[in-house]
Chain A
Amino acid sequence: MSHTSNTTTISTAGAPSRRNTELALLAFAVIIPCFAYANVGLALHGEMPSGMLGYGIGLGLLAGVGHLVVRKFAKYADPLLLPLAALLNGIGLVLIWRLDQSPRLAQLAKNQGFKFVPSAPNQMLYSALGIGLFVAVVIFLKDHRILQRYTYISMAVALGLLIAPMFFPAKFGARIWITLPGLGSLQPGEFAKIVLSIFFAGYLMVKRDALALASRRFMGMYLPRGRDLGPILAVWALSILVLVFETDLGTSLLFFGMFVVMLYVATERTSWIVFGLLMSAVGAVGVASFEAHVQARVNAWLDPFGGWGKSAASEQISQALMSFGSGGVFGAGWGQGYSDLIGFAANSDFILGTVGEELGLAGVMAILLIYGLIVERGVRTALAARDPFGKLLACGLSGAFAIQVFVVAGGVMGLIPLTGMTMPFMAYGGSSVLANWALVAILIKISDTARRPAPAPAPSPDAEMTQVVRP
């Protein structure tokens, strides 16, 4: 844009690409976990940890590759998503490495007849794979609207992913794993979350007018027509089935919640939220009344200290509560807490307990804010997106992310019954890390399209002939 002197020009501000902001934040996001890593080493062994250099370089490399790919293939993407996710992933790695150092957890594994394997190298590998998936999605997904073509295919895939674990043996009380001999196990629910939100976005984009407008007013609420209730009933039934056959409270809560959020966004009808809450309450109470696994979780939630010494589940929750308590406001410091007393799953489902004990309230709040910022950037992307499919997809993905964080953090802190999901990016687990990096990659692609300046109007008005007024 050229300026003649002494003029004011009014124009639409194209969002700048902001890649340098992203790079600076990313550098910051790599330095913080390195600091934490040094901190753990100094506190536990009194010296700088030996793996420090490799760890720092590894994390820096992964972040750098992610940044370069975004710079090349998604130039106008949101500058915050990648650094925030990288920071959470880095802090998660430090937390897992810190728990690896605990002799108590090694002893526990030995007592149960396992060979103790440190989890941090695995998690580093998963993070690398996650960044790999991120890079692949950013490069090969040219335009998020392509996903719209696969609306019903995604439905079938999601159903497959949700139903498949039923045919595999239960692990740790829940059937949410697919075990591939020789390759390890996979938690398909994490991926189903993304595939399902593609289906919901495609479906609701077509059907939202029928759902929003064809309704009767009753007691200040818009009641949907009976036949429009079909899809919500189907999703509800599916999530109840998941709950009953896979005894997985978290996944079913996540899917149903995500669907209600997207219904609300698509139709602007509060009645869907009321319906959703009522239906999930009925479903949860109904299932809890006969499913023993769910009952145990609810009991552990209602009285965590009552089951001390009797049930491992409630003992874990009470240990987690005690670690939050002993952390206080500023925490005990890296490596100086006793959150390894949580025992099994201390580095996956209960990882927030370690944060609570070693970083205290201040640290937990900062971590939750970082999760909140990721969700905020997702919703902001949805606001800026120009196509309805992109809007709904960004809303659905960030909604799913938010619900997952709420369900896990709420469960660990005793706000709601514990559900056995993973804290995105932080908790130990390959499926979770991979799926969440893919989720962030899709958000980055949508935000790239949304923030890309509109192409110059062609043909340019300067080139066009001025029409002559004929009297």
Chain B
Amino acid sequence: MSELTLTVMRLGFLAVLWLFVIVAVQVIRSDLFGTRVTQRGSRRGGETRPQRAQAQAAPPQQRQQQPAAGGGRRAERGRRGAPTKLVVSEGSLTGTTVALQGQTISLGRAHDSTIVLDDDYASSRHARIYPDRDGQWIVEDLGSTNGTYLDRTRLTTPTPIPLGAPIRIGKTVIELRK
């Protein structure tokens, strides 16, 4: 065996050994578990790539979703005074915020809702919140048992949501904020 071959094999083995260590560490890095935010294409941003952000295990009720790319996207939204996030202010999900990015937000006890309400007085598909063509946010009751209240009035038709007005669903209260 020539000296050169042996030297190459010697260094090659060390390289392979370290490669294994590095791959193992990469596996650990991708192995942190916590909450997962799956994002499906937003209407305006043109971001269709599903995103997977992993936060360190937070208590399930206190999860927060941060807008994926802070200021840049907000500037695109145009309209001044438009709400940027939905905040749960009462009920078991208190403190949860969802960034408003032109997507429809469904509320209810069904586990595929955007905001899954753990609330005996909420229906499986209780209400939805969506932007109309002008970017005005609308809340619509989906035929729920106990109804959806905007401020103190029970909704009968899709209604625009004023900034900061409480929307009551069962024991949960949500509002839109800037």
Contacts and interface: CB of A to CB of B under 8 A. Distances in A.
B104 A4 contact: yes
B34 A331 contact: no
Contacts of A4: 104, 106, 112
A366 B114 contact: no
Contacts of A36: 13
A369 interface: yes
Interface stretch (B16-24, B69-77, B157-165): B16-24
**Interface size range on A against B:** 35 or more
Contacts of B37: 8-10
**Interface size range on B against A:** 35 or more
Identify which of B28, B31, B106 gathers the most chain A CB atoms within 10 Å of its CB. Answer: B31
Contacts of B20: 25, 28-29, 32, 87, 366, 370
Contacts of B103: 6-8
Contacts of B109: 461-462, 464, 466
B36 interface: yes
A312 B40 CA distance: 70
A32 B13 CA distance: 8
B156 interface: no
B27 A461 contact: no
Contact of A466 (B35, B105, B122): B122
Contacts of B25: 373
Do most interface residues of chain B lie in helix, strand or loop, or is the interface mixed?
A: mixed
A12 interface: yes
A466 B116 CA distance: 14
Contacts of A462: 109-111, 124
Contact of B146 (A362, A376, A460, A468): A468
A251 B45 CA distance: 63
Identify which of B12, B28, B118, B122 gathers the most chain A CB atoms within 10 Å of its CB. Answer: B28
Contacts of B43: 6
B63 to A, nearest CB: 6
Interface string A91-121: 0000000000000000000000000000000
Contacts of A167: none
Identify which of A331, A370, A469 gathers the most chain B CB atoms within 10 Å of its CB. Answer: A469
Interface string B112-125: 10111010111110
A206 interface: no
Nearest to B104: A6
Contacts of A79: 27, 31
Interface stretch (A39-47, A313-321, A427-435): A39-47
A46 B2 CA distance: 9
Interface in B1-47: 1, 5-7, 9-14, 16-18, 20-21, 23-25, 27-28, 31, 33-43
A3 interface: yes
Nearest to B38: A9
B21 A466 contact: no
B98 interface: yes
A10 B63 contact: yes
A10 B9 contact: no
A5 interface: yes
Contact of B111 (A15, A360, A461): A461
Nearest to A384: B33
B78 interface: no
A180 interface: no
Contacts of B65: 8, 10
B23 A331 contact: no
A360 B118 CA distance: 59
B97 to A, nearest CB: 10
B13 to A, nearest CB: 6
A365 B20 CA distance: 13
A384 B102 CA distance: 37
A363 B31 CA distance: 26
A334 interface: yes
Contacts of A32: 13, 16-17, 20
Given A7-B40, A8-B65, A13-B54, A1 B18 contact: no
Contact of B23 (A9, A25, A334): A25
A461 B38 contact: no
Contacts of A362: 14, 18
B112 A369 contact: no
Contacts of B35: 10-13
Given A4-B104, A87-B20, A461-B111, A333 B120 contact: no
A333 B6 contact: yes
14 contacts: A1-B111, A5-B41, A6-B42, A8-B37, A11-B38, A15-B31, A32-B17, A35-B16, A39-B10, A42-B5, A330-B14, A461-B110, A462-B111, A466-B121
Given A333-B7, A366-B17, A370-B24, 17 more contacts: A1-B112, A4-B106, A8-B114, A10-B98, A31-B16, A32-B20, A39-B9, A42-B1, A43-B6, A83-B24, A330-B10, A460-B111, A461-B109, A461-B116, A461-B118, A464-B120, A466-B144
